């Protein structure tokens, strides 16, 4: 009997303690405990939004968000059902993971959340969902996808794992692309399900806007294919090219090599990700002569058939020697451009004078960024007139002691192609929100008119001779078209000194020369063993220009008039 009494007393004590505790919980002051329970039941979550798309001028997708899922497990539920092994095997089979790895995630007693696989494609997640395994749940997310891999990589840039634009268009236009996430505050029950009637705060999200570029996917392909071939054929350290619409300033293609896959951006270094078309300053060499000759022609100081003695290859100015690549005697202005005479260009620059030359170079937009809508653009280098030495004017004339980006140099050429109007270059056509409202739209904009229409026409006529027999750029000729072009070869500076066996080679041209529609520039950084622009960059130009001309349906100069007619069938009314 004493044992029964002892048990009864113990039970009464336990129940009494429970009753006292319940009394304290219900009747006492338990603000701290109530706040703890409230925090456990409250759920706060951001409502993620899709990042805006990036499209080319023909509305082909270049970047978009794809829906994905994180596949997760609730180990407490799975283990309580005794299904740890079975669930692990099934998940491993569908997700293509080692069963031991999945089992390690599932077999964690007391845990309510364990991710098994992240960023799983929707079709795979749906296959997992069809298995209807208790304790397996999903977290919907989006991931950035670039359908064409490395195409346009330096222009597009990428969005990192946190959804932040980190290069190119993705970075420059991140505030508009990423939209505005929403927010929700609610409560959940013991099974982690939301109690919808307890939803206290909800802020709607706003999806990101779409960016429509001026790039043309097909033209971009032509350019990148040509640069890949150049890397193989001429072995440069790097190569880059731009195609620009002469009369609007729209960039139709912009590419650099080496390139990288945007979907695996974290496997590349910063040098590979550099957009060299706007992010590299280089001494342009002889392509710079077009701006100098155009300035003197515009001032009325020279005419196309004026003769200059080119000193048979050696000329002293300010007690400093200036050499030509080949010795020349007397050349007219067209011949100076055709043969790319340093001495002839220098004598023209001396006639023009330092002040006027500097004023024209500034009017061409040199020495300052173009304002293209991507990060990392360099400004080039054009020293103030007050810092020029006595000999500098002869060096500037041949593209030394100055630095440009490829885009700046192409803009000078397009100015000649556009009857003297310097257009503002742009990559973005318009920005459109998810409701179809145009937030921003770029129209052609003329920044200046450094030279007259007559000067521009004379320059195009003379530059056409560069790609004809006897010129330095014959390999830049395109069958069926007249090409106004210019070669450039500049020695690279290493440790403050020019190096003879290292060059930056370039070629830029307009097509067709009579009424230019496109301007193209190609730059090769230290090609080997061939080094001059005429034998390296010029053929790359032609490899780009020929398919682009056909694609844009630019009329060849020798095209016959086409006559379209409808055949009248016998007996037809």
| pLDDT tens, position by position, 350-372 | 999 999 999 999 999 999 999 99
Mean pLDDT of the residues in the chain: 88
Q: Identify any residues that bridge with 186 across adjacent strands, giving them in sequence order.
A: 43
The DSSP symbol for 559 reads: P
pLDDT of residue 206: 73
- What are the tokens at 38? 């409230």
Spell out a b/e string for 394-430, using b for 16 or more CB atoms within 10 Å of the CB, else e: bbbbbbbbbbbbbbbbbbbbbbbbbbbbbbbbbbbbb
pLDDT of residue 481: 95
**pLDDT mean over 287-301:** 96
pLDDT category at 566 given cuts 50, 70, 90 is very low
Q: CA-based angle 181:187:193, to the nearest 5?
A: 95
pLDDT category at 34 given cuts 50, 70, 90 is low
**pLDDT mean over 73-97:** 89
**pLDDT mean over 406-416:** 97
Q: How many CB atoms lie under 10 A from the CB of residue 563?
A: 5
pLDDT category at 227 given cuts 50, 70, 90 is very high
Lowest mean pLDDT among 193-197, 209-213, 355-359, 448-452: 193-197
> Angle between the 453-464 and 406-417 helix axes, to the nearest 10 degrees?
110
CA distance 154 to 273: 6
pLDDT of residue 1: 73
Backbone angles phi, psi at 328, to 5 degrees: -130, 150
Q: Identify any residues that bridge with 46 across adjacent strands, giving them in sequence order.
A: 183
Kindly give, in sequence order, each residue whose CB lies less than 8 Å from that of residue 281, ignoring residues fewer than 6 positions away. 378, 380, 381, 403, 404, 405
pLDDT category at 141 given cuts 50, 70, 90 is confident
- What are the tokens at 411? 């803009």
pLDDT of residue 408: 97
pLDDT of residue 26: 67
What's the pLDDT tens digit per position in 456-503? Answer: 999 999 999 999 999 999 999 999 999 999 999 999 888 778 888 899
Query: Cβ(239)–Cβ(571) under 8 Å?
Result: no
Taking every pair of Cα atoms in the chain, the longest distance, rounded to a whole number of angstroms, is 135
Query: Cβ(506)–Cβ(466) under 8 Å?
Result: no
CA distance 438 to 418: 29
CA distance 78 to 107: 8
Query: Cβ(472)–Cβ(326) under 8 Å?
Result: no
Between 200 and 83, where is the model more confident?
83
Give SS3 for 419: coil
pLDDT of residue 122: 83
pLDDT category at 46 given cuts 50, 70, 90 is low
CA distance 266 to 261: 9
Q: Is the pTM of this model over 0.85?
A: no
Lowest mean pLDDT among 8-22, 185-199, 207-221, 300-314: 185-199
**pLDDT mean over 21-44:** 63
Residue corresponding to tokens 């634009």: 165
- What are the tokens at 34? 């109530």
**pLDDT mean over 562-573:** 37
* Model confidence at 330: pLDDT above 90: yes
pLDDT category at 332 given cuts 50, 70, 90 is very high
Query: Cβ(392)–Cβ(378) under 8 Å?
Result: no
What's the pLDDT tens digit per position in 495-541? Answer: 778 888 899 999 999 999 999 999 999 999 999 999 999 999 999 99
**pLDDT mean over 48-60:** 88
Give SS3 for 183: strand
Instruction: Report the share of the chain in percent with pLDDT over 90.
Output: 65
Between 122 and 303, where is the model more confident?
303
- What are the tokens at 560? 């016959």
pLDDT of residue 66: 86
* Model confidence at 392: pLDDT above 50: yes
* Model confidence at 32: pLDDT above 80: no
Helices (H) and strands (E) in the chain, counts: 19, 22
CA distance 139 to 119: 9
* Model confidence at 178: pLDDT above 80: yes
> Angle between the 342-352 and 289-298 helix axes, to the nearest 10 degrees?
40
**pLDDT mean over 407-433:** 97
Q: How many CB atoms lie under 10 A from the CB of residue 159?
A: 25
pLDDT of residue 44: 60
pLDDT of residue 569: 38
């Amino acid at each position: 009997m004493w044992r029964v009494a002892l048990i009864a007393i113990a039970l009464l004590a336990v129940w009494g303690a429970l009753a006292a505790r319940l009394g304290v919980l219900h009747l006492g002051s338990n603000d701290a405990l109530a706040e703890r329970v409230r925090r456990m039941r409250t759920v706060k979550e951001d409502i993620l939004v899709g990042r805006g798309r990036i499209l080319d001028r023909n509305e082909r997708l270049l970047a978009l968000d794809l829906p994905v899922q994180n596949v997760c497990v609730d180990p407490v539920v799975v283990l309580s059902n005794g299904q740890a092994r079975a669930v692990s095997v099934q998940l491993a089979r569908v997700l293509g993971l080692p069963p031991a790895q999945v089992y390690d995630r599932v077999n964690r007693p007391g845990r309510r959340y364990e991710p098994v696989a992240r960023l799983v494609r929707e079709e795979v997640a749906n296959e997992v969902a069809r298995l209807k395994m208790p304790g397996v749940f999903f977290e919907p997310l989006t991931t950035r996808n670039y359908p064409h891999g490395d195409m346009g990589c330096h222009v597009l840039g990428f969005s990192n794992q946190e959804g932040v634009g980190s290069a190119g268009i993705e970075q420059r236009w991140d505030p508009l692309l990423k939209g505005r996430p929403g927010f929700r505050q609610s409560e959940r029950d013991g099974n982690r399900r939301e109690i919808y009637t307890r939803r206290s705060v909800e802020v709607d999200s706003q999806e990101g806007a779409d960016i429509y570029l001026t790039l043309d996917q097909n033209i971009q392909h032509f350019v990148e294919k040509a640069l890949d071939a150049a890397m193989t054929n001429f072995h440069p350290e790097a190569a880059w090219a731009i195609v620009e619409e002469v009369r609007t300033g729209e960039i139709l293609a912009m590419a650099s090599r080496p390139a990288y896959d945007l979907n695996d951006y974290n496997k590349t270094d910063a040098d590979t990700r550099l957009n060299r078309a706007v992010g590299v300053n280089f001494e342009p060499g002889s392509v710079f002569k077009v701006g100098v000759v155009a300035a003197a022609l515009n001032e009325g100081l020279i005419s196309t058939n004026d003769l200059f003695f080119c000193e048979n290859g050696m000329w002293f100015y300010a007690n400093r020697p200036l050499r030509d690549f080949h010795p020349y005697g007397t050349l007219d202005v067209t011949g100076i451009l055709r043969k790319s005479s340093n001495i002839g260009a220098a004598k023209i620059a001396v006639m023009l004078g330092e002040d006027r030359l500097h004023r024209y170079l500034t009017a061409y937009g040199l020495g300052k960024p173009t304002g293209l809508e991507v990060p990392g653009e360099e400004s080039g280098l054009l020293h103030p007139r007050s810092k020029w030495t006595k000999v500098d004017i002869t060096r500037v004339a041949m593209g030394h002691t100055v630095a440009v980006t490829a885009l700046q140099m192409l803009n000078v050429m397009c100015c000649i192609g556009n009857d003297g109007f310097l257009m503002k270059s742009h990559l973005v056509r318009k920005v459109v929100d998810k409701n179809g409202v145009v937030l921003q739209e770029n129209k052609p904009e003329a920044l200046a008119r450094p030279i007259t229409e007559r000067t521009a026409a004379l320059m195009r006529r003379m530059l056409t001779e560069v790609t004809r027999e006897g010129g330095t750029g014959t390999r830049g000729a395109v069958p069926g078209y007249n090409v106004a072009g210019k070669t450039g070869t500049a020695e690279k500076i290493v440790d403050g000194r020019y190096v003879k066996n290292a060059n930056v080679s370039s070629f830029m041209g307009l097509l067709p020369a009579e009424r230019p529609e496109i301007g193209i520039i190609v730059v090769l950084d230290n090609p080997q063993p061939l080094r001059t622009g005429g034998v390296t960059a010029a053929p790359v130009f032609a490899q780009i220009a020929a398919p682009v001309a056909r694609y844009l349906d630019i009329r060849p100069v020798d095209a016959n008039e086409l006559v379209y007619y409808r055949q009248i069938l016998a007996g037809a009314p």
